[in-house]
Structure 1
Amino acid sequence: MDDFVIEFFSAVHERKLRAKENNHCNYDDQYLQLFTSSLYLAAFVSSFGASKPCPKVGHLSKLLLLNSFLRQSSVGAVNILFQFFVAVGIFFANLVDYGTSKMHPNGWRVFLGLAGVPAFVLFIGSIVITGTPTSLIECGNETAGKSTLRKIRGVDHVNAEFEQFKAASEIARQVRHPYKKTMKCSSMPTLVIGIQLQIFHQLTGIDAVMFYALGFKNDASLFTLVSIFAADKVARRILLLQACVQMFISQTAVGAILLALMTTSTLTKVQAAIVVVHVCSFVMSFAWSWGPLGWLIPSETFPLETRTAGFASAVSSNMLFTFLITRAFLSMLCNMRAFVFFFFAGWILKMGFFVLLQETKNNVPIDPMVERV
């Protein structure tokens, strides 16, 4: 919002007013980038901080909230709902942003203040929500753990699975230094896969496309539903590779058109339509592949004894690279212009070669799968 920029980044606003043909450098300001990226730096630190109490509090309790309307769904689909609701949240945030942008001069204060509403709801929910079966068992409360497992599964006969949880929890309890264990050779493949997928999650260039997309990410929630229904029917590798091809074509096409724009200064109607199509194509492919599966696959690959430490490392990698890309993107855009799309296209090509990992779709339990990796 202009009111916000004038209040805190007046030099950026003055540069924006002077810009005529070159809009790539309007927001190239180190302090503005630091302000935006600081959120992800805080998330990077807190991801590790949350890994210690996580087993005690419970990290799969979202299953309880979703059980009433997802009783027949697979765990893979439920995990992907995380990305779905992120997209839904972005959509509502944009609606609030649009509404408050009309409230001069304090609309930005209202917008930032309203962020406290969902935060308060989450705080209340964190107090009343129950623990997960594994966390309750690890804390020695086996009766509550079994009862919670019955609620999640929707059936009374859960003895076999409960015994598996007990055995896995006992193994996990014997691991005194999970982070050290994740660094051992036997744990390295799963750690590398988890971290790389989270890093590639950002190196797709989703932020670069969103800069030009003008809100097309609002529709990402619709296409994430494709992944929810396809995750356990189509091989993970197929979804990721298909998306790599689609995203590579979109990034290259948009980069080529905008490269031509640097000499002509204006887009024809046909060129503008092609850009819109490719932007939508990119968002669609990301929303049903690297967006949700970047979170799902790491959750399927770590064994219970190192799951919290491993997933914390993976998520922290995501936050770190989000911080780095957000911190540098406006400067990259200013200096590289259309070539920034080719930069990310190169990473997408590398991602395609990387996706030669073990398939996690269907009927392979987590801990036996780790042994096979």
Structure 2
Amino acid sequence: MVDRPSHRRLVGQPLLYAISIFASLGVFLFGYDQGVMSVLEIGAFFTSIAAGRVGDMIGRRGTLFIGAIVFTIGGAIQTFTVGFWSMVVGRIISGCGVGLLSTIVPIYQSEISPPNHRGALACMEFTGNIIGYSASVWTDYFCAFIQSDLSWRIPLGIQCVIGAILAGGSLLMPESPRWLIDTDKDAEGMRVIADLHGGDPDNEVAIAEFEEIKEKVQEERDSGEVRSYAVMWRKYKRRVLLAMSSQAFAQLNGINVISYYAPRVFEEAGWRGRDAILMAGINSIIYILSTLPPWYLVDRWGRRPILLSGAVIMATALVATGYWLYIDVSLTAKAVVVCVIIFNAAFGYSWGPLPWLYPPEIMPLTIRAKGVSLSTATNWAFNFWVGLTTPVFQELIEWRLYPMHGFFCACSFVLVYFLYPETKGVPLEEMDAVFGEDERQERMDNESLASERRSLVRHERRSWFDRLFKRESSGPSYQRVATGNDE
């Protein structure tokens, strides 16, 4: 399939990790992003839905490039804004870029990753997101000492630089081999697979992976199904709902209450002004560190144990936060900081990275981009709702807000325990077996064969009955059949 060795300087694991780290700039951007989040999420919601079709049409790399360009343009408009409405327009444009990036980066990551490292690489990607968040907090802290409009223009300008770097670098990244094979660019797809396996086009593992992907693509084509949202919903409803639920609970479990409003949470607990921002910055460093253990654990423990344990710790920390705010004693300020740090650490190792890993790995290639686009849109929809209602709830129900999100953590525990299958180490092309669809299809085939046999038997019986009835209507001949007389 590939008649010459790769010309890439990086091949094998160095190439794989370089791609992963660089792609993480995409999630760094929406982790870093500054300002009123609800405005940005309007654009992110709609473009995350559109990203499904865009990713299928122009590829993963092309979508990454466009998303970075759109985000950079939006960031530039915000940086040089001259008024409120130009800021709003810039935020919405940046949101459009975020919607494309947040959908396509996890898909791209899952499609270039080997099964035994797929979880680790996705968790590295999430670490990039939290580094972005931490960078935004510390940038805000240091810029708070600037007594001019540069205090907010500098943070906005930094994201433009990162966006431009991502846009330029995306042109050097290889395309997803699965998208290439799915669009009949087999030679190029095989070349990328060979590069990811060390650059040798005759590598047996690379050839076997190519053949497995090609066989799955051909199998889907032979089925003759249209690649539409309607078909996806009808055939893969369970997978779509699980993917959407993972992103919904990533928001309902309380991370936005803690992260976006961390300074206010600390102010409620007694910290003031820059001290509140400083505490949020310290919390963000611990948040980053908490995202490192899943690099090692996710492909060893599996997805389910991490999600389940994370839900328990998060629920406990949120209930404790509400309790300390309720009793409001001298220890409340320090106790709330500890609770928030524990919550962030639990989220960073569980419900932070895994909802970005789980949807693209459970979706089949034919509808992966569309399925992930719906799960990502769910993230932004709930992100919008939580961001919009949190200030209201903080005023209306005060300390009760935190146990309320603790209840959602408990709900997510139940959902994972009963409904989420384990996907650790399973190749993307073999995910049907995890959901029992291979067995179900075989059963359906067997039932169809049995149905055909029953129809044949009924046809034979009906033919015999018709012959018998005709003979009955003819009088003497029926008697001969019925009695066996030869007269």
User: How high is the TM-score relative to the length of structure 2?
Assistant: 0.63
CA distance in 2, matches of 1:167, 1:178: 21
Asked if 1:279 is matched to 2:322, the reply is no
Matched residue type, 1:226: P
Deviation at residue 120 of structure 1 after TM alignment: 0.9
CA distance in 2, matches of 1:38, 1:159: 47
Matched residue type, 2:432: D
Match of 2:155 among 93, 111, 114: 111
CA distance in 2, matches of 1:46, 1:72: 29
Matched residue type, 2:325: L
User: For residue 129 of structure 1, what is the aligned residue in structure 2?
Assistant: 173
1:135-168 CA-partner distances (Å, limit 9, x unpaired)? 1122322111101001122252211110111122
Taking every aligned residue pair, what percent have the same amino acid on both sides?
24
CA distance in 1, matches of 2:50, 2:148: 38
CA distance in 2, matches of 1:153, 1:327: 46
Match of 1:148 among 192, 208, 216: 192
User: For residue 297 of structure 1, what is the aligned residue in structure 2?
Assistant: 358
Q: Which has the larger radius of gyration?
A: 2
CA distance in 2, matches of 1:330, 1:201: 19
CA distance in 1, matches of 2:309, 2:117: 23
**Secondary structure of the structure 2 residue equivalent to 1:104:** coil
Change in CA separation of 1:178 and 1:164 when aligned onto 2, cut-off 3 Å: farther
CA distance in 1, matches of 2:324, 2:160: 41
1:47-101 CA-partner distances (Å, limit 9, x unpaired)? 112111213422555589x99xxx9971111112121110111122222222222
User: For residue 233 of structure 2, what is the aligned residue in structure 1?
Assistant: 183
Indicate if the aligned counterparts of 1:198 and 1:317 stay in contact, CA closer than 8 A: yes
Indicate if the aligned counterparts of 1:168 and 1:305 stay in contact, CA closer than 8 A: no
Aligned residues: 329
Deviation at residue 340 of structure 1 after TM alignment: 0.5
Deviation at residue 244 of structure 1 after TM alignment: 1.4
CA distance in 2, matches of 1:360, 1:192: 16
1:306-364 CA-partner distances (Å, limit 9, x unpaired)? 21111111111001110111112111111111111011011111111111221112346
Asked if 1:39 is matched to 2:101, the reply is no
Deviation at residue 260 of structure 1 after TM alignment: 1.6
Match of 2:415 among 336, 354, 357: 354
Asked if 1:203 is matched to 2:247, the reply is no
User: For residue 31 of structure 2, what is the aligned residue in structure 1?
Assistant: none
Indicate if the aligned counterparts of 1:255 and 1:342 stay in contact, CA closer than 8 A: yes
Work out which structure has the larger RCO, using CA pairs closer than 8 Å and 6 or more positions apart in sequence. 1
Segments of 5+ residues of structure 1 without an aligned counterpart are: 1-33, 262-266
Indicate if the aligned counterparts of 1:61 and 1:129 stay in contact, CA closer than 8 A: no
221-230 or 209-218, larger mean C-alpha shift: 209-218
User: How high is the TM-score relative to the length of structure 1?
Assistant: 0.82
Asked if 1:49 is matched to 2:29, the reply is no
CA distance in 2, matches of 1:250, 1:104: 37
Match of 2:302 among 231, 235, 250: 235
Match of 1:317 among 357, 370, 378: 378
Segments of 5+ residues of structure 2 without an aligned counterpart are: 1-34, 61-103, 267-279, 441-487
User: For residue 369 of structure 2, what is the aligned residue in structure 1?
Assistant: 308
1:147-199 CA-partner distances (Å, limit 9, x unpaired)? 10011222522111101111223345554333112211x41111111000100
